Each structure stands twice: as structure tokens, then as C-alpha cells.
Amino acid sequence: MLLRHTNDDIKKRSSLTVNPAKTCQPIGAMYAALGIHGCLPHSHGSQGCCAYHRSTLTRHYREPVMAATSSFTEGSSVFGGQANLIQAIDNIFTTYDPDIIAVHTTCLSETIGDDVNQIAGKAVKDGKVPGGKYVIHASTPSYVGSHITGFANMTKAMAVQFAEKTGKSNGRFNIVPGFVEPSDMTEIKTMVKTLGIDPLLFPDTSGILNGPLTGKYTMFPKGGTSVDELKSTADSIGSIGLGPLASADAVRALDARFKVPCQVLDLPVGLLATDRFVDSLRTAAGVPVPDSITRERGQLLDVVSDMHQYLYGKKVALAGDPDHLVPLTEFLVTMGMKPIHIVTGTPGKAFEKRIRDITGHLDCRVNVKGPGDMFTLHQWIKKEPVDLLMANTYGKYIARDDDIPFVRWGFPILDRIGHSYFPTVGYRGGIRLIEKILDAVMDRLDRDAPEEKFELVM
């Protein structure tokens, strides 16, 4: 990496992306599909595409990610992939016996114009889909959006293609968690249950991509949202989508089709976003906030108060997904820090406005761009250095080149473990996030301290 040759002469680029701060749609769709119990994701395109998507998820979660592919050849690319997909559906149900095949498209199948809805219908008509089994599908070309868009499209497909209203309430509350870690999904369920509410989380990758090592391989682990649960989402008392880009489409589809009232909130990252999540649940379900939740909030406040002197005024650069960056920026500002360079690779007009609303009162210029790339972020850092960088694994090159304390957060994280086991959402997750930030900042403080200031107690 020749990042040391990056200069601060920023020029407008409309057709060139350097080190994109995102991955592609099918990865998000594949991740969402893995959150359904007994589901095998299927990539309708070439083998190479599917291999990339699987390997990225496998390296991030350190778990074997299974998926099938239509294995396009030159002939499929010219004449269409209908025969490949129908044969694949037949082979998959015969060989692996999943409950569901979740088909997502790739650039190739989208470019040639395959009608996956028609193909899936033909597979059912031809008897390739056994009774009690299902094929769902989502359009996810890589040349549009990002992995967040792909997650949103597949999650919406779950709601639209499964939900069935019976007219009898199931007494549950739909939660669409957004593109977060399995550990975060567990924490979200724990918080909702603590409030006395029965959550119906979809998708749910907890226990699937952070499961135990038992010595026995299971292609379809016990976790995940079941088919019956997905069908019953139309009978829930309400829905909350966490993250406007990743989750809004699914809960709004349930509202539009089945009159399940919905709210779209920020991911509960940090103090204020978690406050809004808890308050929305409390109001919607008519339940009091238990002492255990209040205690967790107080612990987070205590840590913020105790460590404020080490974080106040620190300048931060951020790269990641919009749904993550908005509440994270708010959290950093709450702690007195200054997020001054913020980049996302996911398109979305509302992102920049939200960031500027949150940071508008700061006494410094804030650079924000969406969609942008890591090269732009690096140029901003060259022009105005920061005290901390928070990004996925690819940020380590910038951190090394400019000697910046670095916190890995987001997707993908390829060179560290723990993210799939330790949540960063909710009040307890907020404490974990502060710990990671403080470790980076205070390790640098120790490293650079002269002998007379190398203190044992901070």
C-alpha cells in the first residue's frame, strides 16, 4: 500500500472510486438469508461471485458460510439463467433439504434481465419445490447500493413473500435489527424481553454465525427466524425497524399490506439512540421500564462521566455504514468528542443531513460524504489530522500510514475477533464501545508519555 503518497489535493471524482467504504448487495442479502432457520442462500450468477460473498462473510464471522450458486457459463450469460436456476433448485432440495432457498441476483443475472420471480414460479409449477418448502428472492445487483441495500431488499422479501394475516394477534412485536452483529441481535432481544415484550426478530443470525464449537458440523444450526414466525409477522401488534436504510422497507411493507403499525428508529448505539429505542418500546407496548434497564443506563452514564477528561475535544474520523455512523456520531458528540471526517460508501440523500444536524453546533468544520470512499477520507485526514480513526479492517492502512489510534468497528473486520460475541448496541454495548475507544486513546497516551508522566493510575 502506497498510502504515504496520498496528498491533500482533493479533486471532485464522479466516476472513480478508490478503496470503497462498502461491499456489494449480495453480501448483505446472503447475511440476511442466513438469519432464517433452515435457509440456504443462493447466488443467481457465476461461481466466482458466490465464492467472494461466502469468503467475505466467512472471514468476518470465522464461521463456515454455506451458499449455492447457479454457476453461469458463457451460454447462461447469453441465453439466460432460467435452466440453471431451476436445476439448482431441484438439486438443492434433493441434496441438502433446506426449508427455504433464498435467491439473490448478481450483476450478471440482472444485466441479462433474468425474471427470477417468473423462474421461481415455474420451479413450483414444474414440481421442483417440494411441499412445505419455499423459494424467496430479492433483486440485488452489485452495481447499485451496497451490502446494506442488499440486506434491506432480502429482509423486505421475507416480509412481503411470507407474511400472512390470520386476523388473530400473536401478541408479539416485530423487530428488524438491521445489518448488525449476531451479538447485537442477542442484546436487542434481551433488552426487549427485559421490558416484558415478546420480540419477533427477523432476520436473526444469533446462534448461527456465533455458535459454539461442538465437534459436529450442522449445515442448518438451531438459530434463526422460523418460517412460521415469518408468516406471523402480519399478526404482530407492531414493528420497529432499526436503521432507516437496512430495516425501513420491511416494516413499512408490513404496515402498508397488513396494517401492522411501524416505527423506524436509529440503531440503538450509544446513550440517546438507546433511550429512543427503549422509550418507543415502552410507549408502543404500554409497559414500564424495569430497574435493570435503568441501572444499565446509569452505568453507561457513569463511565462517560468518569472518562470524559480523556475523550473531550478529541477529533475523530469515521468510515462505515449510514445506519451505524449516524448514532455513533451522536454518541461521540454526547461524550464531547469531535467527529470531523465522516464517509460512507452507501448512497442515500438523508445521511449527510442527519450528520450535519448532529454536528451543527460544533466549533469546527465537519466533512461528510455519502457516497464517498476511503481515499477521500485519507485526504481529509492529511489536510486536518485526527486523534482517532474508527472504521472496518481496511482503515488499518490509513491508521498505520498516519500513526493514528484505530478502533475496528463495522463490516468487514477480517483481522480481529470478538465482534460477533460482544455487542456494541444498547447501554451495555455502549460501555463496550467506550472501552474500545478508551483503550485506543489511552494506549497512545501511554506510548507517547514522557517518563515523568507515565502514570500507573489515570
pLDDT in tens, 270-311: 999 999 999 999 999 999 999 999 999 999 999 999 999 999
* Confidence (pLDDT) at 4: 66
Contact in structure between 221 and 208 (CB atoms under 8 Å)? yes
Does the structural domain 25-162 have CATH classification 3.30.750.24?
Answer: no
**What does the mean pLDDT of the chain come to?**
95
Confidence band of 29 (pLDDT split at 50, 70, 90):
very high
> Which residue is it, cell 432457498?
101
In total, the chain counts a number of residues equal to: 458
* Confidence (pLDDT) at 268: 98
Task: Give the start-to-end residue ranges of the domains of the chain.
Answer: 3-15+301-451, 25-162, 173-211+218-292
> What digits encode the pLDDT tens for the residues 186-225?
999 999 999 999 999 999 999 999 999 999 989 999 999 9
**Residue-by-residue DSSP string for 124-180:** HHTT-S-TT-EEEEE---TTSS-HHHHHHHHHHHHHHHH----SS----EEEE--S-
Contact in structure between 67 and 93 (CB atoms under 8 Å)? no
> What digits encode the pLDDT tens for the residues 326-342?
999 999 999 999 999 99
Q: Grid coordinates standing for 52?
A: 467472494
Instruction: Name the architecture of domain 3-15+301-451.
Output: 3-Layer(aba) Sandwich (3.40)
> What digits encode the pLDDT tens for the residues 389-428?
999 999 999 999 999 999 999 999 999 999 999 999 999 9
**pLDDT higher than 70, residue 358:** yes
> What digits encode the pLDDT tens for the residues 107-144?
999 999 999 999 999 999 999 999 999 999 999 999 99
Measure the CA–CA gap between 24 and 302, rounded to whole angstroms. Answer: 39
Confidence band of 79 (pLDDT split at 50, 70, 90):
confident
Task: Give me the mean pLDDT over the 332-353 stretch.
Answer: 95
Contact in structure between 112 and 141 (CB atoms under 8 Å)? no
**pLDDT higher than 70, residue 3:** no
Please report the sign of the dihedral spanned by the C-alpha atoms of residue 88, residue 151, residue 52, residue 20.
positive
Task: Give me the mean pLDDT over the 68-85 stretch.
Answer: 89
Task: Give me the mean pLDDT over the 13-26 stretch.
Answer: 90
Instruction: Name the architecture of domain 173-211+218-292.
Output: 3-Layer(aba) Sandwich (3.40)
> What digits encode the pLDDT tens for the residues 253-273?
999 999 999 999 999 999 999
